[in-house]
Amino acid sequence: MKIPLLLIAALPLAAGDFETFTDNALNYTQRNAACAALKGNRSPEVVMAFRGALDNAALQSCAAAGLRAAGASAELLSALQTDNDPGARAAAARELGTMQKAEFLPVLRAGAQDRDILVVTNAIEGLMRYEDHSSAPQLREVALLGGMQATLALDILIDWHDPAVIEIGRKLMDSQEPADQLIGIRAAGLAGDASDLPRLKALMKDDMQLNSGSRGFGLMPSISLARAARTAIENIEKRPS
């Protein structure tokens, strides 16, 4: 009797999950399925296999999740701090953030200044995963760095209604970098008050156009500092004093 293919797909994997996961001759669909079945296994052999798989782009996500489920934080920390593969560092950062432990905050903060943008974005995402907002001090530091990571960090702080948003925005408006000024203008428009109007009006006189390259986000339309400042002013003036 033949078993329908859909039923086969629904059946649990056999006992050879470890062998399947570590068999380089098998395809990545099979190996990822075996990886998922091993999630929660804390044996040294499985943890070692997960750590080794972090250097395989097709297995990184599942392997990092497996390490987290196994409580193997030492392996994840090692990957974020020392692995040559940006994908491995990025996956480790994401999972460390999910664990939400205070001792990981300095490591994730350092990851937010990694040389690879994928690691930077995942480290900031890791900081975002602290549900108690205990990562806010690290995000504030990242926001003051300017650049793309400042935008990402400030967006999180805005969502968290963090009181430091406006002070960060004011410092960025005083930057010499137009892209950072734009981030600061946005913060002022969302959280500023009448005291910010003189600075915004001064920026409104500057009709500089920021193209996508200056903002580090790929193909995006140009943005006028003057128009952004005008919008921020309108938002402040509409806000009850």
The residues spanned by each domain of the chain are 1-134, 136-241
Helix, strand and coil in the chain, % to nearest 5: 65, 0, 30
Give me 8's structure tokens.
Answer: 């086969």
Rounded mean pLDDT, 16-26: 93
CATH of 1-134, one of 3.40.50.1980, 3.40.50.1010, 3.30.450.20, 1.25.10.10: 1.25.10.10
Cα-Cα end-to-end distance for the chain: 77
| Residues 192 and 201 sit within 8 Å (Cβ to Cβ) | no
pTM above 0.95, yes or no: no
Summarize pLDDT for 89-129 with one digit per residue, the tens. Answer: 999 999 999 999 999 999 999 999 999 999 999 999 999 99
Q: Which of 112-121, 177-186, 202-211 has the lowest mean pLDDT?
A: 202-211
What is the pLDDT of the chain when averaged over all its residues? 89
pLDDT value, residue 6: 41
Amino acid of residue 115: R
Q: Is the pLDDT of residue 1 over 70?
A: no
Give me 54's structure tokens.
Answer: 């972090």
pLDDT value, residue 222: 58
**Residue 224: what are its φ and ψ, rounded to 5°?**
-90, 125
Q: At what angle do helices 178-191 and 147-159 cross, to 10 degrees?
A: 10
Of 195, 176, 192, whose CA–CA distance to 231 is shortest? 192
Q: What percent of the chain has pLDDT over 90?
A: 81
In the 8-state DSSP scheme, what is residue 55? T
Q: Is the pLDDT of residue 9 over 60?
A: no
CA distance 144 to 166: 12
Dmax over CA atoms of the chain, in Å, equals: 81
